Amino acid sequence: MIKENSKLFMEDSSMRIKNLCFVLFSLFTCNVMAVELIIPDDKAVILFDTKLGIVTFAHQKHAELSITECTTCHHKIQPEDTAVKPCHDCHKHDAKSKDVLKTSKAFHTRCIGCHEYTAAGGQNAGPLKKKCKLCHIKPETK
């Protein structure tokens, strides 16, 4: 009985230490990333020309959401960075590397995933899977 209680105490202590380390690490990284990066006016709204039509991304609007940070999408940003690389710098249309997602896969995974997560939490979200034409808008032809 004493051995079992001792083992439970050690496991509980170990978990507390892990949790404390995680919290301290989170606080540190949040403070390091607290440098506010400003979205340039020409990037407040970004248009992506795709095979299925033009996708309009309200960059500034997404940046102002309470559930997002720059690192939500720009996952490779470093604390010392003073500018953010565009998605296409890493995610290419014709990416052949298994380590880096193609542009379409990266956007669909990140965007739709976040919209589904937000909608599942009962909040309004942007377009979801299988609703391609809500994002991809073909220009009108005359």
- Asked whether residue 18 carries a pLDDT value surpassing 80, the answer given is no
Give the long-range contacts of residues 64-73, CB within 8 A, separation 24 or more. Answer: 67/118, 68/114, 69/33, 70/33, 70/37, 71/33, 72/114, 73/110
Helix residue ranges per DSSP H, 33-101: 59-63, 70-73
pLDDT in tens, 105-135: 888 888 888 888 888 888 888 887 778 888 8
- Asked whether residue 21 carries a pLDDT value surpassing 60, the answer given is no
pTM of the model: 0.62
Alpha-carbon gap, residue 141 to 4, rounded angstroms: 75
Cβ of 37: how many Cβ atoms within 10 Å? 14
pLDDT in tens, 49-61: 988 999 999 999 9
Contact 86, 96 (CB under 8 A): no
